[in-house]
């Protein structure tokens, strides 16, 4: 694939990257960029093996523009972002590392290409920028006024996918922390949390959609008239569109949550009664600093517990929001 006295041509989408002796030339409209071969092979990356493959006498890929080596699955823009890390000056690196100037999408592009070609140092540097930025978004300092990065469904999935690819579990946790600030009031963020939980095997996260405070209107995508218009996670006036398994799981979860509330608050012998009865008891035994009996305590506890459950601050809370109801009680 490479001759010391010849050319090696790589094709990424419709852009040719040409190796001429010891450097690459990016053949693109309006600009030419040279990338030296030794820059891409100074680490134990896939490029070092690519340029060391044995030769054959017949014409092979990479010897001309008409027969390039095709780097399938790559984007020319992402590959160009990766090449920027090979030639950026220290001042440019310093500017990129500034939290106010971090470009998340570009950093993800660099990490994705670096991971594919096993350039570990570049991958770790790019993912470090992403992690630093997300930490600031989760805990913004007083003077941080950088450009807002909306962690919507598409961005959240891409962040988690590349973090999983690069084995950066901490970034997935930071994405979920950002979603947590919005998923109790917005169905789109709640769905993103549920979908990520499904994909990465986080059942506790997948169940958080049950705690959305706004009314949960759902429509299975399979019930759409043909041709289908909406995809999973999209929203319109009918609510959010889900798959049948997601729809069933949420309805089943709502039933279980409703049952849990009745078990917690439905009777004097409930768990909540056991927890709060003696703590709030004002019977004669309590006043005399003696251990109150079950019967005497219940006389005082039951009407007080019923009044607490019927308070306006509790009734207005959604039956699905058990945690908030307990707080109001």
pLDDT of residue 2: 42
In this structure, the dihedral spanned by the alpha carbons of residues 204, 206, 212 and 216, taken in order and rounded to 10 degrees, is -140
Cα separation, 278 vs 179, in Å, equals 39
Domain layout of the chain by residue ranges: 1-73, 281-328
Cα-based distances in Å from 313 to 216, 258, 261, 305, 318 = 21, 18, 16, 14, 11
Per-residue pLDDT, 207: 61
Residue 224: what pLDDT?
A: 57
Q: Are 40 and 101 in contact (CB under 8 A)?
A: no
Instruction: Tell me how far apart the terminal alpha carbons of the chain are, to the nearest angstrom.
Output: 73
- 86, 45 Cβ separation under 8 angstroms: no
Question: What would the DSSP string read from start to end of 264-298?
Answer: HHSSTTSHHHHHHTTTS--SHHHHTTSPPPHHHHH
Cβ within 8 Å of residue 16, ≥6 positions away = 9, 10, 26, 27, 65, 68
One digit per residue, the tens of pLDDT, for the chain of length 329 reads 444 444 567 788 888 776 554 444 444 433 334 455 556 666 666 766 666 655 555 566 666 777 777 888 888 889 889 888 877 888 888 888 887 778 889 999 999 999 998 888 899 999 999 998 888 877 765 444 444 555 656 678 888 889 988 989 888 888 887 877 776 666 777 777 777 777 777 666 656 666 565 555 565 555 555 555 556 566 655 566 677 777 777 777 777 777 877 777 765 555 555 555 555 555 544 444 555 555 566 666 677 777 877 888 877 776 667 777 777 77
Residue 108's pLDDT is: 93
Q: How many residues does the chain have?
A: 329
Which ranges of 88-168 would DSSP assign to H, the alpha helix? 90-97, 104-116, 120-138, 153-165
CB 191 within 8 Å of CB 240:
yes
């Amino acid at each position: 694939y490479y001759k010391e006295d010849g050319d090696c041509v790589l094709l990424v989408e419709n852009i040719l990257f040409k190796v001429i002796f010891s450097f690459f030339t990016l053949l693109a409209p309006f600009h030419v960029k040279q990338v030296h071969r030794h820059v891409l092979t100074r680490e134990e990356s896939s490029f070092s093996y690519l340029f060391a493959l044995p030769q054959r006498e017949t014409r092979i890929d990479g010897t001309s523009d008409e027969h390039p080596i095709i780097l399938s699955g790559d984007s020319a823009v992402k590959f160009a972002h990766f090449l920027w890390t090979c030639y950026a000056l220290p001042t440019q690196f310093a500017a990129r590392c500034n939290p106010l100037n971090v470009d998340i999408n570009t950093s993800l592009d660099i990490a994705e290409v670096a991971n594919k070609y096993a350039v570990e140092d570049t991958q770790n540097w790019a993912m470090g920028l992403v992690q630093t930025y997300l930490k600031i978004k989760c805990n913004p300092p007083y003077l941080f006024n950088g450009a807002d990065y909306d962690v919507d469904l598409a961005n959240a999935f891409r962040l988690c996918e590349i973090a999983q690819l690069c084995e950066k579990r901490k970034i997935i946790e930071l994405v979920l922390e950002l979603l947590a600030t919005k998923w109790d009031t917005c169905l789109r963020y709640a769905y993103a949390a549920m979908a990520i939980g499904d994909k990465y095997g986080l059942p506790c996260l997948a169940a958080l959609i049950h705690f959305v405070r706004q009314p949960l209107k759902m429509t299975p995508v399979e019930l759409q008239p043909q041709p289908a218009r909406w995809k999973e996670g999209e929203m319109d006036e009918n609510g959010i569109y889900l798959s049948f398994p997601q729809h069933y799981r949420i309805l089943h979860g709502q039933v279980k949550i409703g049952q849990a509330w009745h078990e917690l608050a439905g009777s004097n012998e409930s768990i909540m009664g056991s927890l709060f009865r003696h703590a709030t008891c004002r019977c004669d035994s309590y006043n005399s600093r003696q251990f109150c009996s079950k019967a005497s305590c219940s006389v005082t506890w039951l009407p007080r517990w019923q009044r607490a459950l019927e308070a306006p601050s509790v009734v207005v809370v959604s039956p699905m929001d058990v945690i908030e109801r307990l707080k109001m009680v």
